[in-house]
Structure 1
Amino acid sequence: MELRFELKELHLKETFSIAYGSYDKRDVLLIQLSHQNCKGYGECVAIDYYQIDLKSFVLKLKEIQSQIETQKIIHPKEFFKFLFNLNLHSFLLSALDCAYWDLFGKLENKSFIELNQLPSENLVESSITISVGDIDKQIQKIQESSWNKFKVKCKGLNKSNIEKLLELNRNIALDSNASFTDEDCLWFQENAEVQKFSYLEQPRPIDQYKVLNKTGFANWMADEDCQNLASLDELIPYYKSVNIKLMKSGGLTPALEMIRKARELNYKIMIGCMTESTVGISAGCILASLVDYADLDGANLISNDYATGNFVENGKIILSRKPGLGIELK
């Protein structure tokens, strides 16, 4: 098996703003695993919130390259055990896990869905994200969009803006990126109107969720608070829903386990994404039959996508049905 990796840059179609900053581009690390003329791909991105340093990931890959390349082709779940013992950051672990699933499926001439006997029908529809901005411009974007589901970013609570969004009578979720106060959260929980929002994502900073009460009117969804299997038990009294992202969880292998456990604990589940190319989005799309919500618009927001595979068109998730994760570079 051969390992290759490359630092690249994703360019946003327009400046994207969230509660803690704005950006026009994202640095990305593309990983390729190859064997017998088959190539598998995975990626991870530099996210300020998580203090990701891709150059340190490159140094780590150079350090472990020989260990990876001397591995025999084994089942991806066994390969994940090998990767897990290398003590990698979850973002890098995810890129390698996804690349190996893609490679293994291509070698076996079977898709990830076939290999895991997953359903491939009744895929949930993805939302598209509306970045922080003037409320009238946000509303205009919603009204002019051909998508049906929206995630509206906000910075803090503006009750007038909330009223305007609810008056649209559209499928809208709110994501404050941890910018709500405790008082804001209590207002949401006690206001029956907020049931019209499909969910309210990550209202408070990490580990400051004790003010939340899942029995209130708000469908609180954990994003940064939900990192791994262990967090699912801890969050039960506070959150109704969880956002599972491959880079947070460490890849497809642990994400499958998180989805299984989240179902057992009666959570609503979203498969989410960050700013990613079709390499990352393809991996997320194949889990869309297992969840209640999808937010897989990452590749739709960039102007220089360098891959093809599973994709999202006006919210509809379209699977390539090709072996592995179906990823090919352009």
Structure 2
Amino acid sequence: MEKKHVFRIAGGARTSTPAILIQLKFDNYTGYGEASMPPLYGESFQTAINFLKKIDLSTFKNPFNTEDILNYIDAISPNNPAIKAAIDIALHDLIGQLLKIPLHSYFGLKNKELYTSKTIGIDTAKIIEERVIEAKKFKFLKVKLGGKNDKEIVDTIKKATNQPLFIDANQGWNSKEEALEKTFWLKELGAVFIEQPLPKTSYDDLTWLAAHSPLPIIGDEGIQRFSDVKNASNFYHGINIKLMKSTGLREAYKMAQTAKMMNLKVMLGCMSETSCAIGAAAQLGALADWVDLDGNLGIKNDPFTAHQVNQGVIHVNKNPGIGLANVDWKEISTYKIPNHNL
């Protein structure tokens, strides 16, 4: 996926993100899935292909046995969440095609318009000002901090707009004291919450910060899968659920429902993704307090068309499955999973 702009966070910068697109076929129906693999998370084309080579679906006769199929996929390896997510998304898309219903209906959720934030990465003041102007129709801006120029970034943004800010420090602040000071400062400037202000393993500092912060603290890098949710309230006031971390829709749904029962806020987030994965995540939008699903808006070579985005609002369509309206990809290389009925 080629990005429209250089993407910078506290941990580095990139101009592209590797992705693998999946087709899962049953009878005359096809489900589509996607694995987005930012290098930070350790997955690659090679790890994904190696994982796919281990799959044997010959014992499964149809796609409706989702629990057994996805438990089998998950048990192949403790890692590889993105390629697992691709299979999960394709499987659910296929089920939606067969049932002729959108996945929000399959999960028993209402369809609603989603106000997604628009991400502003770490950059120079001039470029940040340009990005803010481009995002003027969005209700929220998501601002990447955690570098050396936090004040310059925020001051530049506030000179150009009064839009509320989602703040994401990407583990970039060095101490609980610094994090608390910046949280009070950002609250006065219209911040809604602070995402992952400290390293995910700084448990004592995160516990202290959550107890003292005037803004909700949201776990991202510290919340990967369902097993992380049970202790999340010790360190955070909410969690950021991403399909590429959670292994897909099935687990993301469980995480969101559990978080809500624990009185934790739910944020739906994304990586750099095509409209395939974004379309899938949007199906769970009714469970979210906040939505950050703009990954497809930042790439130049999206082979899919799904839900329309107008003035920062995602209008979730009623198409079957994940909501794809058009597919136009050119296969560069293909790998067929052997020994399967799906």
Q: Answer whether TM exceeds 0.5 for this pair.
A: yes
Matches within 5 A, 1:183-194: 183-191=177-185, 193-194=187-188
Cα displacement (A) at 1:193: 3.4
* Cα distance change, pair 110–144 in 1 and its aligned pair in 2 (3 A): closer
The separation in 2 between residues aligned to 1:202 and 1:96, in whole angstroms, is: 28
2:199 matched to 1:208? no
1:171-320 to 2 correspondence within 5 Å? 171-182=164-175, 183-191=177-185, 193-194=187-188, 196-212=190-206, 213-215=209-211, 216-320=213-317
Matched, 1:18 2:9: yes
SS in 2 for 1:274: coil
Match of 2:109 among 105, 118, 123: 118
Give the aligned residue type for 2:202: Q
Cα distance in 2 for residues equivalent to 1:85 and 1:52: 17
Q: Deviations over 1:123-180 (max 9, x none)?
A: 3300010111123542443244222211011233634544554564321111121111
Partner of 2:33: 42
Q: 1:296 to 1:192 in 2, by over 3 A?
A: closer
Supply the distance in 1 between the matched residues of 2:186 and 2:4 (Cα, whole angstroms).
36
- TM-score under structure 2 length normalisation: 0.86
Contact 1:156/1:181 (8 A) holds in 2 = no
SS at match of 1:199: strand
Matched, 1:107 2:113: no
Helix, strand or coil at the partner of 2:199: coil
The amino acid that maps onto 2:210 is: K
Greater relative contact order (CA < 8 Å, ≥ 6 in sequence): 2
CA distance in 2, matches of 1:173, 1:119: 25
CA distances 1:186-235 after superposition (whole Å, capped 9, x unpaired): 31355583583111111122212432332421321110101122222322
Contact residue 168 and residue 195 of structure 2 kept, 8 A:
yes
Q: Is the 8 A contact 1:94 1:246 kept in 2?
A: yes
Shift of 1:277: 0.5
Of 58, 79, 82, the match for 1:91: 82
- Partners of 1:102 and 1:200 lie apart in 2 by 33
Specify whether residues 187 and 288 from structure 1 end up closer, same or farther in structure 2 by C-alpha distance, changes over 3 A only.
same
Contact kept in structure 2, 1:192 and 1:217, CA below 8 Å: no
Taking a change above 3 Å as real, the CA distance of residues 308 and 140 of structure 1, as seen in their structure-2 partners, is closer
Query: Match of 1:6?
Result: none
**Equivalents in 1 of 2:312, 2:28: separation in Å?**
34
- Separation in 1, partners of 2:234, 2:322: 36
Return the TM-score normalized by structure 1: 0.89
Name the % identity: 28
Residues 122 and 153 in structure 2, CA contact (< 8 A), matched pair in contact too: no
CA pair 68-152 structure 1, distance change in 2 beyond 3 A: same
* 2:122 alignment partner, SS class: coil
Q: What amino acid sits opposite 1:253 in the alignment?
A: R
Q: Is the 8 A contact 1:278 1:311 kept in 2?
A: no
1:127 aligned to which of 107, 117, 127? 117
Paired residues in the alignment total: 318
AA partner of residue 138 (structure 1): I
Q: Deviation per CA, 1:10-57, whole angstroms, max 9, x where unpaired? A: 111121111122111111111110011111011112212111122121
Taking the aligned partners of 2:153 and 2:291, their CA distance within structure 1 comes to 24
| Cα separation, partners in 2 of 1:42 and 1:207, compared to 1, 3 Å | same
Whole-Å Cα distance in 2 between the matches of residues 44 and 265 of structure 1? 29
| Partner secondary structure for residue 263 of structure 1 | helix
Instruction: Provide the aligned C-alpha RMSD in A.
Output: 2.1
